[in-house]
Structure 1
């Protein structure tokens, strides 16, 4: 195969790939605005709660180590 034919074939493959991406995105069931907002809020709240729990545990271990090491 000549170089020009290879380049032309690669160009066709790229356009086909982009077309396939667009076709797949049309099949996706997108969440509603309300559902997306709810799930985003849920993730943020969960993240904050876990961060607080880990912070408290870290603070507790820090104090415990100070008590043990500074005895």
Structure 2
């Protein structure tokens, strides 16, 4: 059991050495893209929500 755990961690360490980590510039640009995309999606969802809310209110009130 101990040997299996040891083998697992040795293998994991070897795999971590193969990872190509992104540069600070890449991380920053990808973070900005995610934040902007999220803000755009939030604005679209809020606009649709407001529009549907207004439509339902108008239908309920009979205007």
Range class of TM-score, shorter chain: over 0.9
What's the counterpart of residue 43 of structure 1?
34
CA RMSD, aligned part only?
0.7
The answer to whether 1:15 aligns with 2:6 is yes
Unaligned runs of at least 5 residues, structure 2: none
Residues matched between the structures, number = 62
Q: TM-score, normalised by structure 2?
A: 0.92
Unaligned runs of at least 5 residues, structure 1: 1-9
C-alpha distance in 2 between matches for 1:41 and 1:56: 23
